[in-house]
Amino acid sequence: MKLVGIAGSVADKSYNRLLLKYIAREFKDVVDLDVLDINDVPLFNQSDDQTDSPAVQAISNKILAADGVIIATPEHNHTITASLKSLIEWLSFNIHPMSGKPVMIVGASYYDQGSSRAQLNLRQILESPGVDAIVMPGNEFLLANVKTVFDENDNLKDDRTVSFLKETLGKFTKFVKVINKMNEKEDPGWQSEDLESHGKVETTVEGVDMHAADWVEKAAEKTNAAEGDDYVKLDRGLLTVNQLNYFLNSMPIELTYADANNQFIYYNHFLEAKDMLAARTPGQAGNPMADCHPKRAIPHVQQVIHMLRTGQTDMFRLPVPGMGPDKYVMHYYKAMHDAKGEYKGINELVLDIMPIVQYYLKHTGQMLVKDPDADTDAVSGASTNTKPEKTDAVSGASADTEPEKPATAEPEKPDEVSGASANS
């Protein structure tokens, strides 16, 4: 366990610093205690902000990186020292490294009371708004008559004192674990989906600007990618790159590949953007997903991706409203996995299913009849007289439609047909 020790004294011979160094040495098998000096910390003056000074920043960074803090305070006129008070003022002025940090107070004094009043004063300060430290209750370690309690090797002489200090330190380590467990941030779930593609997966092409209109060409050059008549061995086939393009571009559906880093890296380019159900342009390939959706749709996109990534669903279906009676455009978002079952991205399929429905009706002699008891689908059941909305340039989601759920809400279980919330 990594702890920081702060002695509230700038004296050349400080018994409180001596106590902390003894703890660091004697109990190194229990804690890793880094004893800090506060000698260079300037006197607090809010009119002369020195928050960014090396002395204040060094201590702040040490505290932030530590699991907990031990403060050893002397007692000056029934209170803590001016130097320790200045440090705490700096650490609660514009920065707050002590907030939520577990703290143990110890103290050494020349007299019988062993800094008890200074410890009470320090406890009140540490628990005040702006500091917001979490001080271990009780278990006060008060070292009195300090001029006589250390031997020539700076070790505590009295076995009972050492035993009590060990017991108190053991309780503090347990206290630190409990407090830090409580302070752990809950899994943000879908909000953690990084649509800016800041991360990296094993297939990420580094050193090429994701926003570049010629990302495909630059990335291909950097990776010496196969092209033309070069052969590619597939799972059950051997095709040239040209043949792969012929094959994918002949599909009667629009296909998009977004990798596990949420980067849009491919679409089958067989139509111009104006003729596509979900318009895409060559220059968009390589973009992070955040660039491919209107801002208002980002929370919903994060929800969908997170559901696919975490296995909450393997397929998310989303109809595009307002296409009229002769079109029913569906977006299918299918999670892709490798042979080990690890998530590798999304295969988005976009197609108009109306020709399929009409073909079925024609060849079976059946017809569509409205169910008088059915409610209109909240997502897909737009009026046949509704004017088609402007679609998202990549996913086809309505650019003018608000996300189904606000950014602070958890996504609900998707409808098996439409992908809309089953509870809507």
pLDDT tens column, 286-317: 999 999 888 888 999 999 999 999 999 999 99
Taking alpha carbons only, the member of 249, 246, 247, 268 closest to residue 257 is 268
Q: What is the pTM of this model?
A: 0.49
Instruction: State whether residue 33 is helix, strand or coil.
Output: strand
CA 283 → CA 98, 215, 266, 276, distances in Å?
48, 7, 11, 15
The amino acid present at 370, given as its one-letter code, is: K
Q: For all residues of the chain together, what is the average pLDDT?
A: 85
Sorting pLDDT into bands at 50, 70 and 90, what band is 12? Answer: confident
pLDDT digits (tens, 9 = 90+) for 23-38: 999 999 999 999 999 9
Sorting pLDDT into bands at 50, 70 and 90, what band is 411? Answer: very low
What's the CA gap between 33 and 3, in Å, rounded? Answer: 5
Q: Which residues pair with 103 in a beta bridge?
A: 69, 135
Domains and CATH numbers, the chain: 2-183 (3.40.50.360), 192-364 (3.30.450.20)
Widest pairwise Cα distance in the chain: 105
pLDDT digits (tens, 9 = 90+) for 101-120: 999 999 888 877 768 888 89
Strands 2-7 and 68-72: parallel
Query: Averaged over 370-377, what is the pLDDT?
Result: 72
pLDDT of residue 421: 33
Instruction: State whether residue 2 is helix, strand or coil.
Output: strand
Instruction: State whether residue 63 is helix, strand or coil.
Output: helix
With b for 16 or more beta-carbon neighbours within 10 A and e for fewer, the 349-383 pattern comes to: bbbbebeeeeeeeeeeeeeeeeeeeeeeeebbebe
pLDDT of residue 375: 64
What's the CA gap between 422 and 424, in Å, rounded? Answer: 6
The dihedral built from the CA positions of residue 283, 285, 286 and 292, taken in this order, carries a sign that is positive
Q: Supply angle C-alpha 344, 347, 352, rounded to 5.
A: 170
pLDDT digits (tens, 9 = 90+) for 206-224: 999 999 999 999 999 999 9
pLDDT of residue 380: 37
pLDDT at 254 > cutoff 70: yes
pLDDT at 419 > cutoff 80: no
pLDDT digits (tens, 9 = 90+) for 197-207: 999 999 999 99
CA 354 → CA 162, 206, 215, distances in Å?
82, 42, 35
How large a percentage of the chain has pLDDT more than 70?
A: 87
261 dihedral zone (left: phi>0; alpha: psi -120 to 50; beta): alpha
What's the CA gap between 12 and 213, in Å, rounded? Answer: 64
Residue pair 121/79 in contact by the 8 Å Cβ criterion: yes
What's the CA gap between 153 and 396, in Å, rounded? Answer: 75
Rg of the Cα atoms in the chain: 33
pLDDT digits (tens, 9 = 90+) for 118-142: 889 999 999 999 899 999 998 788 8
- Per this entry, what is the length of the chain? 424
Range with the lowest mean pLDDT among 177-186, 251-260, 390-399? 390-399
Query: Averaged over 335-347, what is the pLDDT?
Result: 94
